[in-house]
Amino acid sequence: MEELDDAGLMRLAAGGDERAFEILVERHQNMVVGTAAKMLGGVEGAEDLAQQVFLRAWQAAGRYRPTAKFTTWLLTITRNLVFNECRRRMAHRTVSLDDPDSGLPERACGGAAGAEALHERELERAVDAAIAALPESQRLAVVLRRFEAMPYGEIAEVLGTSVPAVKSLLFRARADLQVRLKGYLAEG
């Protein structure tokens, strides 16, 4: 069963084959969790969201039609749930004094290696924050292109738009990221 492609496994899952669906989850859970984590700005909630994605995929197995790649269909479900979660979080935004990312400097181990590690963490946080600040569609386009290496056509299908629109989203996102990361780009 492991040698079946995703569409074949979904046909079996539509018939109630739990093992076939387990194989699909094993194949694609890292992609779904990673995409959700990048979209949500961290792993908090990403695994729960991924569970919801796969639950919805299981429930919709009988309606799945392989007109697009399975991953495109799965990421469309992910997109919908992530966008809903982002909106929910925006409505309930709070600031925590216990948050380790509250802007207080971290202590490095010391020496040049420690300073370099501190700079790397600072840059990573800045990039994550800049991506998180992008509008939802731009953010998802960046995550799918950069972190999932997805082609423009598939990103267009996930977002329900055209390839030129995806290119435009990515162009605007890159321009925004350049502005937000200007201080880091000048150092690099």
* Residue pLDDT, tens place only, 22-65: 999 999 999 999 999 888 877 888 999 999 999 999 999 999 98
pLDDT, tens digit, 9 for 90 and up, residues 86-101: 878 777 655 444 444 4
Better-scored residue on pLDDT, 2 or 151? 151
> Which ranges in the chain are annotated with CATH 1.10.10.10?
111-187
CA distances (Å), 162 to each of 27, 79, 91, 109, 111, in order?
Answer: 27, 16, 30, 48, 50
Residue 16 has pLDDT above 70, yes or no: yes
* Cβ neighbours around 146 below 10 Å, total: 14
CATH assignment, 6-91: 1.10.1740.10
* Cβ neighbours around 35 below 10 Å, total: 26
User: Please, which residues have CB within 8 angstroms of residue 85's CB and are 6 or more apart in sequence?
Assistant: 40, 45, 49
pLDDT, tens digit, 9 for 90 and up, residues 141-181: 999 998 888 999 999 999 999 999 999 999 999 999 999 88
> Which ranges in the chain are annotated with CATH 1.10.1740.10?
6-91
CATH topology of domain 111-187: Arc Repressor Mutant, subunit A (1.10.10)
pLDDT, tens digit, 9 for 90 and up, residues 104-132: 333 333 345 555 666 677 777 888 888 88
